[in-house]
Chains A and B, each alone.
Chain A
Amino acid sequence: MPAPESNGGPKVGVYVCHCGLNIAGKVDIDQTVEFAKTLPFVTVAREYKFMCSDPGQEMIQQDIRDGLINRVVVASCSPLMHEGTFRRATAGADLNPFYFQMASIREHVSWVTADGEAATEKSKALIAGAVRRVVFHAPLEKKRVPVNPDVLIVGAGIAGIHAALNIADAGKHVYLVERESTIGGHMAKFDKTFPTLDCAACILTPKMSQVRSHPNITMWTYSDVIGVEGFIGNFKARVRRRPRYVDEDLCVGCLECIEACVYKQAKVRDEWNEGLGKRKPIYIPFPQATPLVVVVDPEECIWFKTGKCKKPCVDACERKAMDFDQTEEIKEIEIGSIILATGFKTFDASRIAQYGYGKYPNVYTSLEVERLVNASGPTGGEVLLRDGTKPKSVAIVHCVGSRDEKTNKWCSKVCCMYSLKLAHLVKERTGAEIYNFYIDMRTPGKGYDEFYAKLLKEGVHFIRGRVAEINDWAIKPEEEGKLVIRAEDTLIGAVRRIPVDMVVLSVGMEPQSDAEEVRRLFNISCGGEGWFTERHPKLAPVSTFTDGVFLAGACQGPKDIPDSVAQAGAAAAEVLSLIDRGGVELEPNSAYIDEESCSGCRTCMALCPFSAISFVADKGVASVNEALCKGCGTCVAACPSAAAQQHLFTDEQVFAEIQGVLDYV
Chain B
Amino acid sequence: MSYAYYPGCSLKSSGKPYEASLFKVFEAVGLSLDEIADWNCCGATSYTSVDDMKAYALAARNLAIAERDGDGGVDLVAPCAACYLVLSKAQHYMKDNAAIGEGIAKGLGSVGLRYEGRVRVRHPLDVLINDVGVEKIAQAVKKPLGGLKVACYYGCQIVRPYSTFDDQHQPTSMERLLGAAGAEIVDWPLKTRCCGGSLIGTIQEAGLRLGYILLKEAKKRGADVLVTACPLCQFNLECFQDRMSKEFDDRVDINVAFFTQVLASALGASDKEVGFDRLLKWDPPKPVGAEGGSHARA
Contacts and interface: CB of A to CB of B under 8 A. Distances in A.
A375 to B, nearest CB: 36
Interface string B180-218: 000000000110000000000000000000000000010
Contacts of A469: 169, 189
Contacts of B242: none
Interface residues of A, number: 6
Nearest to B171: A353
Most buried by A among B167, B189, B190: B189
A472 B170 CA distance: 14
B223 to A, nearest CB: 14
A471 interface: yes
Nearest to A353: B170
Contacts of A473: 189-190, 217
A213 interface: no
A354 B217 contact: no
Interface string B150-184: 00000000000000000111100000000000000
A353 B167 contact: yes
A473 B169 CA distance: 15
A353 B154 CA distance: 15
Chain B's interface size range is under 10
A471 B189 contact: yes
Interface in A460-477: 469, 471-473
A474 B167 CA distance: 23
B211 to A, nearest CB: 15
A354 B170 contact: yes
A353 B217 CA distance: 20
Contacts of B189: 469, 471-473
Nearest to B216: A475
A354 B189 CA distance: 9
A354 B167 CA distance: 9
A615 B167 CA distance: 54
Interface in B116-170: 167-170
A269 to B, nearest CB: 25
A471 B170 CA distance: 11
Interface string A335-362: 0000000000000000001100000000
B186 to A, nearest CB: 12
A354 B172 CA distance: 12
A354 B192 CA distance: 11
Contacts of A353: 167-170
Nearest to A354: B169
Interface string A439-472: 0000000000000000000000000000001011
A418 to B, nearest CB: 26
Interface string B79-94: 0000000000000000
Nearest to B170: A353
Contacts of B190: 473
Contacts of A472: 189
Nearest to B189: A471
Interface string A258-271: 00000000000000
A469 to B, nearest CB: 7
A505 to B, nearest CB: 15
A469 B169 CA distance: 9
Nearest to A470: B189
Interface in A390-441: none
B159 to A, nearest CB: 11
Contacts of A471: 189
Nearest to A468: B169
Contacts of B167: 353
A469 B168 CA distance: 12
Interface string B87-107: 000000000000000000000
Contacts of A354: 169-170
Contacts of B170: 353-354
Nearest to A472: B189
A570 B168 CA distance: 44
A469 B170 CA distance: 10
Contacts of B169: 353-354, 469
Nearest to B166: A353
B278 to A, nearest CB: 31
B252 to A, nearest CB: 16
B249 to A, nearest CB: 17
A472 B189 CA distance: 8
B222 to A, nearest CB: 14
A208 B211 CA distance: 60
A567 to B, nearest CB: 38
A129 B239 CA distance: 81
Interface in B1-47: none
B161 to A, nearest CB: 11
Contacts of B217: 473
Most buried by A among B167, B168, B170: B170
Contacts of B168: 353
Nearest to B188: A473
A471 B193 CA distance: 13
A237 B146 CA distance: 62
A472 B190 CA distance: 10
A471 B189 CA distance: 7
A473 B170 CA distance: 14
A483 to B, nearest CB: 11
A469 B167 CA distance: 13
Nearest to B172: A353
A121 B170 CA distance: 61
A245 B189 CA distance: 48
Interface in A466-499: 469, 471-473
Interface string A314-345: 00000000000000000000000000000000
Most buried by A among B168, B169, B190: B169
A461 B280 CA distance: 49
A469 B189 CA distance: 10
A346 to B, nearest CB: 21
A349 to B, nearest CB: 13
B206 to A, nearest CB: 15
A123 B126 CA distance: 59
A272 B270 CA distance: 55
Interface in A497-514: none
A353 B170 CA distance: 6
Nearest to B220: A474
A469 B193 CA distance: 12
A473 B189 CA distance: 7
Nearest to B192: A354
A353 B169 CA distance: 7
B166 to A, nearest CB: 10
A354 B170 CA distance: 6
B169 to A, nearest CB: 4
A473 B220 CA distance: 10
A200 B167 CA distance: 39
A5 B167 CA distance: 73
A472 B168 CA distance: 19
A540 B169 CA distance: 43
A473 B217 CA distance: 8
A466 to B, nearest CB: 13
B194 to A, nearest CB: 14
A590 to B, nearest CB: 48
A353 B191 CA distance: 13
A72 B218 CA distance: 82
B245 to A, nearest CB: 19
7 contacts: A353-B168, A353-B170, A354-B169, A354-B170, A469-B169, A469-B189, A471-B189
Interface of A: 353-354, 469, 471-473
Given A353-B169, A473-B190, 11 more contacts: A353-B167, A353-B168, A353-B170, A354-B169, A354-B170, A469-B169, A469-B189, A471-B189, A472-B189, A473-B189, A473-B217
Nearest 9 pairs of A and B residues by beta carbon? A353-B170, A471-B189, A354-B169, A353-B167, A473-B189, A353-B169, A354-B170, A473-B217, A473-B190
